[in-house]
Structure 1
């Protein structure tokens, strides 16, 4: 089973905080976010865990890390890779399915899930 594509995919995206990080990189007008921006947006994540997950997501090809050489000290920004952006389309399909079957997330910050950017 360890070679099964579904199991491998779930191993990548099923780790704690991974979906939250991907969603934060997807949201908003600015597609690039700095480490501290992500740390603030993903409430409850420790800096060490965020750093670990970002490295894993980069190694898995879901995000890109870019160095802004024009700034001092060095600043890295994170954004979705082409693969990560395509994955978000899958998440949108899952959301559509959930809305069709009338699942609503009352804990969501928006009053209606249908208004969510995702």
Structure 2
């Protein structure tokens, strides 16, 4: 059955708009951690609602953990990639390698690690 296909089940949440870019932005943070406001600033065009929804989905899938610091105002929410979330970075690198080989000529991108990408 198609519904039981591992790829099909995984693609359902990984291919939602912004999901892989959120994971990549978390990876770029120190300790693979970023605050909600940092994520929003690094992803032009994402709405607060969509970012919140995607982070909740990633947390439910075990790819991200959330830590809330209520001792300060405003309350700070930090998100960190789990070991499982870090594993997806290899998939992102694979997508990048495929794109550079077959679809996109981008020498600066090819010469950078995604963790330090500023493109």
TM range (shorter): 0.7 to 0.9
Contact 2:31 2:80 (C-alpha < 8 Å) held by counterparts = no
Offset at residue 3 of structure 1 (A): 1.5
Offset at residue 115 of structure 1 (A): 2.5
Secondary structure at 1:48's aligned position in 2?
Answer: helix
Root-mean-square deviation (Å): 2.0
Segments of 5+ residues of structure 1 without an aligned counterpart are none
Segments of 5+ residues of structure 2 without an aligned counterpart are 115-119
Contact 1:27 1:117 (C-alpha < 8 Å) held by counterparts = no
Offset at residue 12 of structure 1 (A): 1.2
- The total of aligned residue pairs comes to 113
Task: Report the counterpart of residue 116 of structure 1 in structure 2.
Answer: 112
Task: Report the counterpart of residue 56 of structure 2 in structure 1.
Answer: 55
Q: Which of structures 1 and 2 has the larger relative contact order (alpha carbons within 8 angstroms, sep 6+)?
A: 2
TM-score, with structure 2 as normaliser: 0.81
Higher relative helix content: 2
